[in-house]
């Protein structure tokens, strides 16, 4: 009987884990491994692009790739890991409870936005965290044009000025103009708890974000927190009310709760504290990867972030190491010393930085071209061609 590597999730980490495991089995001339991906849909949802319009188009069908590499796809939603029985309970598309066993398990179920229990946010707020919620925002924005002109209609409040908040806020002026007309006085307000714009970034990067925000007319409310969201807009902690038909929450991400019954340490973001091989300590046949893994990237104290840049590489290492442990091959400790950021700044352009100290290397159109190359090509699945996919899945191949 074949031994099974079961991967939960078909996001950046899960997809690359599957291809990387298939690659190692191929290199070892082993066809006795079954590599199976369990996820709701056989597609990669390109979350880093969810601030863009036409969100329904931001998926990539994984079926041709999986067929080419003999990767089995199982449609379902994992509910519980039963580590004693080496299996996973999942719900099929028709809601039947089913059990599947594994020889190695890779948990790649990603992350979700966290609302911190803000009053009214579920009923009246929007977000761009998942395809369905980003679609809901898009439908709402499209419908604004049919509403009578008012301050509230023309105002969007973006809650949280981190990476996602900045990309969405800087994209919105042109999206709103396209929907509501060039002459409409639209307003985009970022509500940020921190005392400076882009507080977590380098001074150089912050300056660029400030400059782009000014040119695009984006208003930042710093040292400010949301108290309540309701149908008329938001009320801030200091009692100020902002009339806004659109309030988008972007702050705070938590790893998927899957595996919470495991006796394993998790960090404040809910990620498993993994070993250098990406195993969950205490469970030598379970690996965590992507947004589910808290992993050291180097010996300098840096840790993988919940980014697609890290999820892709974490996926390749997890798949390799899960297969290696079944094939009697040495594991590869996860390393990812190169770190870059490319932040979209809407009609202003973009900014590209290198290093953990975020040295600005490109701005405006030049950086925008790079951003488009990254988000429209680099992070998409490889071609459904064995040779090309396996070359890209090598954990030691150059990525960025
Ligand atoms: C709006 C936005 C903008 C972003 N911008 C950037 C950016 O510019 N640069 C960057 O590097 N990163 C960015 N990120 C972060 C990046 O998208 C994530 O870090 C990345 O998607 C993580 O990959 P993952 O494979 O771990 O998880 P995901 O991509 O979330 O994939 C998780 C997979 O698991 C599946 N799944 C979840 N639960 C279960 C379950 N119980 N059973 C079965 N399957 C399950 C999901 O369906 C999905 O297939 C952004 C994220 C968002 C939301």
Whether residues 8 and 85 share a domain: the answer is yes
Q: Which of 47, 95, 372 to mutate to test the pocket of ligand 1 (most atoms within 8 A of CB)?
A: 47
Query: Do 206 and 259 belong to one domain?
Result: no
Task: Give percent of the chain with pLDDT exceeding 90.
Answer: 98
**Atom of ligand 1 lying closest to residue 130 CA:** 53
Residue 10: predicted pLDDT: 98
Element (H, E) at 140: helix 131-144
Q: What is the DSSP letter of 201?
A: S
Q: What number is the average pLDDT over the span 131-144? A: 98
pTM score: 0.98
| CA–CA distance, 129 with 135 (Å, rounded to integer) | 10
In this predicted structure, the answer to whether residue 27 has a pLDDT above a threshold of 90 is: yes
The model's confidence at residue 76, banded by pLDDT at 50, 70 and 90, is very high
| Chain-centroid distance, C-alpha 126 | 17
Is the pLDDT confidence value at 12 over 90? Answer: yes
Tell me the torsion sign for CA atoms 380, 384, 385, 391. Answer: positive
| Per-residue pLDDT, 284 | 94
Is there an atom of ligand 1 within 6 Å of 165 CB? no
Residue 239 C-alpha to ligand 1 middle, in angstroms?
35
Distance CA(91)–CA(80), nearest Å, equals 10
Where does the pLDDT of residue 116 fall: very low under 50, low under 70, confident under 90, or very high at 90 and above?
Answer: confident
Average confidence (pLDDT) over 329-343: 97
Cβ–ligand 1 distance for 259 under 6 Å, the answer no
Domain boundary among 194, 222, 249: 249
Q: Per-residue pLDDT averaged across 258-268, rounded?
A: 97
Asked if 108 and 313 touch (Cβ cutoff 8 Å), the reply is no
Q: Report the separation in Å between the CA atom of 11 and the middle of ligand 1, taken as the mean of its atom positions.
A: 6
CA 277 to chain centre: 22
**Angle made by CA atoms 189, 193, 197, in degrees to the nearest 5:** 65
pLDDT for 400 equals 84
Domain count of the fold of the chain: 2
The protein residue whose alpha carbon is closest to atom 41 in ligand 1 is 78
Identify which of 29, 99, 48, 84 has the alpha carbon closest to the alpha carbon of residue 291: 48
Is residue 344 a part of any domain in this protein? Answer: no
We report the CATH number of the domain holding residue 179 as: 3.50.50.60
Which residues fall within 8 angstroms of residue 248, CB to CB, at 6 or more apart?
125, 126, 127, 128, 137, 156, 157, 158, 159, 168
User: Does residue 291 lie in a domain region?
Assistant: yes
Across the range 366-380, mean pLDDT stands at 98
Closest Cα to atom 4, ligand 1: which residue?
48
- Whole-number mean pLDDT of the chain? 97
Q: 65, 382 in Cβ contact below 8 A?
A: yes
Distance CA 248, CA 10 (A): 26
User: What would the pLDDT profile of 173-191 be if each residue is shown by its tens digit?
Assistant: 999 999 999 999 999 999 9
**One domain for residues 262 and 325:** yes
Q: Is 397 domain-assigned?
A: no
220-252: pLDDT as tens digits: 999 999 999 999 999 999 999 999 999 999 999
Residues 162 and 211 in one domain: yes
Task: Quote the pLDDT of residue 1.
Answer: 86
Q: Each residue of 94-115: pLDDT tens digit?
A: 999 999 999 999 999 999 999 8
Q: Which domain holds residue 58?
A: 3-113+253-338
Write out the two tokens for 213.
Answer: 């925000």
Question: How far is the first Cα of the chain from the last one, in angstroms, to the nearest whole number?
Answer: 39
Q: Give the mutation target among 9, 88, 316 for probing the ligand 1 site: most ligand atoms within 8 A of CB.
A: 9
Distances in whole angstroms, Cα of residue 2 to Cα of each of 6, 27, 32, 65: 12, 17, 5, 21
- Return all residues near 128 (Cβ < 8 A) that are at least 6 apart: 50, 51, 55, 134, 137, 164, 168, 248, 250
Domain membership of residue 391 (yes or no) is: no
Residue 343 has pLDDT above 90, yes or no: yes
């Amino acid at each position: 009987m074949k031994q099974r590597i079961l991967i939960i999730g078909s996001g950046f980490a899960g997809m690359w884990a599957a291809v990387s495991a298939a690659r190692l089995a191929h290199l070892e001339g082993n066809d006795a491994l079954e590599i199976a991906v369990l996820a709701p849909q056989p597609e990669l949802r390109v979350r880093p692009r969810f601030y863009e319009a036409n969100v329904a188009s931001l998926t990539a069908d994984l079926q041709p790739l999986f067929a080419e590499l003999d990767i089995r796809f199982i449609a379902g939603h994992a509910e519980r890991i039963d580590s004693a029985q080496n299996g996973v309970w999942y719900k099929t598309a028709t809601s039947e409870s089913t059990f599947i066993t594994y020889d190695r398990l890779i948990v790649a179920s990603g992350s979700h936005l966290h609302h911190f229990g803000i009053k009214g946010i579920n009923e009246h707020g929007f977000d761009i965290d998942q395809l369905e919620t980003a679609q809901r925002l898009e439908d709402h924005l499209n419908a604004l044009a049919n509403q009578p002109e008012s301050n509230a209609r023309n105002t969007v409040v973006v809650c949280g000025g981190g990476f996602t908040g900045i990309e969405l806020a800087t994209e919105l002026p042109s999206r709103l103009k396209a929907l509501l007309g060039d002459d409409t006085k639209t307003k985009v307000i970022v509500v940020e708890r921190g005392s400076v714009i882009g507080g977590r970034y380098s001074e150089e990067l912050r300056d660029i974000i400030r400059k782009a925000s000014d040119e695009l007319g984006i208003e930042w409310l710093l040292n400010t927190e949301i108290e309540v969201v309701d149908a008329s807009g938001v009320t801030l902690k200091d009692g100020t009310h902002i009339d806004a038909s659109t309030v988008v929450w972007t702050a705070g991400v938590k790893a998927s709760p899957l595996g919470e019954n495991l006796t394993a340490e998790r960090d404040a973001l809910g990620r498993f504290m993994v070993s250098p091989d990406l195993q969950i300590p205490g469970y030598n046949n379970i690996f965590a990867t992507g947004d589910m893994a808290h992993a050291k990237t180097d010996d300098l104290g840096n840790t993988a972030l919940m980014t697609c840049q890290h999820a892709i590489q974490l996926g390749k290492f997890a798949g390799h190491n899960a297969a290696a442990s079944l094939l009697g091959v040495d594991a590869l400790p996860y390393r990812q010393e190169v770190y870059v950021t490319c932040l979209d700044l809407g009609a202003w352009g973009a900014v590209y930085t290198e290093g953990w100290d975020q040295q600005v290397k490109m701005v405006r159109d030049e950086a925008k071209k790079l951003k488009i190359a990254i988000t429209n090509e680099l992070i998409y699945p490889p071609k459904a061609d064995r040779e090309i996919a396996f070359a890209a899945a090598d954990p030691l191949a150059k990525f960025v």
